[in-house]
Amino acid sequence: MSVQLLRQSLELESVTDSLRLRMRAAGCEFYFTVRQCLTAAVSVDEVHHRSLLAALFSEVQAMADRGWQWQMAIHPHLKAGQRWIGPEDVINVSAVPWETAGVVDARVLEPVCCTSPIRRSEPPNGFQRLSQAFENPPSSRRCPPDLLAEFCAAVGLLPNHDIEVLDWVGDPLMEPERSNWSKYFEDGKEWWGIWCLTVWNPRRQTLAALIASSTD
């Protein structure tokens, strides 16, 4: 199965576009796309995750080529027409399975503030760190309540759904070499962070890809 065997229905596309606009208005740095399987009998593997990731970067590249003002504001060092990444570049990118045990219902997730971290007996897990980044963008704005939960629902990042999540960049401080495959991630390495995940939700039969990279 390739991304061509996944679909984005008019209803799914409408929901995705609406959420993207509200996230952008809230200063959220995450960008995402979602597809639904054409058949429930399909077994999804890394090839399918990689195919959708390539499709997502094609979307981002197309937006940059059109000189979208919001992308240029987020990434001022990247000019319209400058190449971020092409589908062929994703072929050799390595993925690491993400720990999904820490994924909880975002509606009841304890907030993790960037400026005043809550004291914990253990460091935040991947889902908590993603939630922190989502709700605390570099612009010093705070996302509206429930926007994170809506985002998690849209990309299928839900507890008790037997999800599979692949991480395509890792921690830029611990594994800097893993994110060198695209200039898209350069800004986020300065401070705020970088994200590149694909999420397969077998119960919903959806495959999503999400990325983020920015600085103040």
208 vs 51: CA distance, rounded Å: 11
Reported pTM: 0.84
**CA–CA separation, 80 and 40 (whole Å):** 40
Residue 105: the pLDDT is 93
At residue 167, the 3 state secondary structure works out as strand
pLDDT at 116: 38
CA dist., res. 185 & res. 54, Å (int) = 15
Classified as helix, coil or strand, 152 is helix
The domain locations on the chain are 3-214
SS3 of residue 176 by DSSP: helix
Give the pLDDT confidence score for residue 27 in this predicted structure: 85
**What does the pLDDT read at residue 29?**
86
DSSP state of 47: H
Give the side-chain half-sphere CA count within 13 A for 142.
Answer: 8
Give the model's pLDDT for residue 100: 93
**Structure token pair of residue 107:** 């509606």
Query: Residue 125 corresponds to which amino acid?
Result: N
Q: pLDDT 10s digit of each residue in the chain, 216 long?
A: 455 456 666 677 888 889 988 998 888 889 999 998 877 666 889 999 999 998 898 888 777 766 655 555 555 555 555 566 655 667 778 899 998 999 999 988 765 544 334 444 567 888 998 998 898 888 766 778 789 999 999 999 999 999 999 999 998 888 888 988 888 888 888 888 899 999 999 999 999 999 998 876
Q: At what angle do helices 126-135 and 147-155 cross, to 10 degrees?
A: 130
